Structure 1
Amino acid sequence: ESIEEHNAVKSLLSQLDSASMSEEDVWVAKITVIQENVKHHISEEEEEIFPKMQQKMSSDELSSLGSSYEEAKKSAVPMAAR
């Protein structure tokens, strides 16, 4: 399900990229769907996936994963500003 959600958002973003800015109703509809998908995805991760990871991973593994996440986030912010 998670991969399907990622693919759906990528597809919608691609459609937005090729849509005309004058098609406001199309933009609003697609942005609304993206927003709903992202909220659902985050909720699923926070309520299901992250708790399972905390149970199965060691403190060192979790710390390393957290550090990797922070580094990825830093490099993603400049990309989003483009």
Structure 2
Amino acid sequence: MDPRQFSRLAQELAAHFHTEEDVLYTPLRTDRRLHGAILEGLAEHHVVDVIVREIERSKTGTDEWHAELKVMRENLERHIRDEEEILFPRAEILIGSDRAIDIAGMYAATERELVAAVR
């Protein structure tokens, strides 16, 4: 991955996390049954943000840069898997499929706007 690609990825991740936290996590956070999963998701966002900052400070192409990129990818994969296998199905059961569809629609619209803004 070249530095321009990484810079764009970092911007898109920031936009994605912002959207996810505002549109998805905030309304679901008040449900005690989802509180722990939401806190874990927020912590995972923080971890990836820290890794992104480390990558930005590292010299591109070095072993350190590649190692940090690998760790970031692994954290993102785990975060996505946890959301898809645990949080999203649990949230849909708790809030109902109509509300889940509404939130998914708001999320998609906000995500498109933020990603377009960073391009």
Report the equivalent of 1:15: 54
Q: Kindly report structure 1 stretches of 4+ aligned residues shifted beyond 6 Å.
A: none
Return the offset for 1:58. 2.9
Q: Please tell me the root mean square deviation across aligned C-alpha atoms, in Å.
A: 1.7
Count, aligned residues: 80
- Structure with the greater alpha carbon radius of gyration: 1
Return the offset for 1:79. 4.5
What are structure 1's unaligned runs of at least 5 residues?
A: none
Give TM-score scaled by structure 1 length. 0.82
Indicate the structure whose relative CO is greater, using CA pairs within 8 Å and at least 6 residues apart: 2
Identity %: 26
What are structure 2's unaligned runs of at least 5 residues?
A: 1-39
Give TM-score scaled by structure 2 length. 0.59
CA 1:79–1:16 in 2, change beyond 3 Å: closer, same or farther? farther
